[in-house]
Structure 1
């Protein structure tokens, strides 16, 4: 009988030298400037890190090792699919389906509802022992560490990415932003800068939330419109100030920066460059 060999996605083609490990990735993160006690919001492309012994689990462990017992790891665990089907475009669904979707959609559950379009690393953090996750049905965040409860608590519908959100909590904690293998287009903290404008554009949102042990109900609310279309430009201009440390984590280009500093820069930039 032939032996079974599993097909494994190694997230990168092996090359000469050694595979990346928890130890080597921890060293990369420390060289970049991440340190014990930091609160850090991480956006990542795991595939860009290359061949890692232990894959994404090893990357999360390296982050936790560097942050230590006093640090806090935060990731976005957004659920954009839990939204009004009237606005779905990729793909759209027939209007005749909308009532059924809204009435039968399972309510958002912090422990059961998976994130989407955030990558695999946030899913691993979300399910890691001791993780906390915020209550927002569309733009939740998960956290591990000393300030996990502070970051994820009291996430209201009407302040999804504003000062009352986990982004605002990270700002008050003088946190960091770490981009691993991705650019400022995914720098969620800049949405806090949008919300800090005097009169940000707003729109109605909808989602299903839990109602009791097994039921759900549809809710609507008004919040600032999130628009990341110019985040790449903002980030590029911010980097010219020299305030971003650029290095490597494994094979990936990584960027580490102060979250309050990049938010303040983006707040001023948006006020000057976006049409009122």
Structure 2
């Protein structure tokens, strides 16, 4: 499938909402096939090594990527795929308006710590925005998918087929409760700027989680906000952003501005962002 790109100010994409959700399902099925090789390495307590940027990588990252990339190429021939480990090796495609972002094992530190909070992330970018995505947690057997304004969570074991619709749960981000927000923070990368952001807001509780799970917990109504001021890459966030946006939430810059993808000139690095379920009144960019 080759996507026709539509400028933000132009007409709507020819891909319907149902087609985008169908792509999210297909991404989910591919992510689940990466589960068995990941879990084999997990069971063996695979060791990691440091990449050039100091971040860890394991054989599980590489094994998952080897499963995911051919499947995506078959699904969407001709669409550029920017994947973390390929990028680390210097294999960076020319990404136009339409491209795929893949993190074959998001949360490698969580993988090495053996806490189960790691995910497989696959997201589709169109005109700078994630329009379909899947986040799979192999250790928990949970899959979140979102596209075209519809998001679901389901239970599926590594390597198994996706369950029928009646065994899935539709997702909708919740309005911010009157008693204050439940904030999601990074288990491995909590920084002073994030702590300062939370200190300025009524916060009922704070939950720590690894990888893209934070986006998914907000999408399913178990949290309200995830501020991130530390460094991330586009492949870290695209899939979770797609799921959250399809559940009624969004990811924005701290000032409420848009959070865009395809930043080749910045090495596909993200700036600071805030992921919201239903944005709190009074926050930058909120309706109230």
Does the alignment reach a TM-score above 0.5?
A: no
Larger-Rg structure: 1
Higher helix share: 1
User: TM-score, normalised on structure 2?
Assistant: 0.28
Higher relative contact order (CA 8 A, sep 6+): 1
Higher strand share: 2
